[in-house]
Amino acid sequence: MNFTNLLVETRDRILYITINRESKLNALNKVTLAELHHAITNSFHDNTIGGLIITGAGQKAFVAGADISEFADFNTDEGRELAREGQSKVFDVIQNSEKPIIAAINGFALGGGLELAMACHIRVAATTAKMGLPEVSLGLIPGYGGTQRLSQLVGRGRALEMILTADMVSAAEAHRTGLVNHVTEPDMIMAKSEEILKKIISRSPYAVGCAIRAVNAAFIEGQNGYESEIAEFSNCFGSEDFKEGVAAFLEKRKAEFTGK
Is 135 tagged catalytic?
A: yes
Spot the catalytic one: 115, 173, 232, 240.
Answer: 115
Spot the catalytic one: 35, 135, 194, 232.
Answer: 135
**HEC-encoded secondary structure of the chain:** CCCCCEEEEEECCEEEEEECCHHHCCCECHHHHHHHHHHHHHHHCCCCCCEEEEEECCCCEEECCECHHHCCCCCHHHHHHHHHHHHHHHHHHHHCCCCCEEEEECCEEECHHHHHHHHCCEEEEECCCEEECCHHHHCCCCCCCHHHHHHHHHCHHHHHHHHHHCCCEEHHHHHHHCCCCEEECHHHHHHHHHHHHHHHHCCCHHHHHHHHHHHHHCCCCCCCHHHHHHHHHHHHCCCHHHHHHHHHHHCCCCCCCCCC
Residues annotated catalytic, as ranges: 115, 135
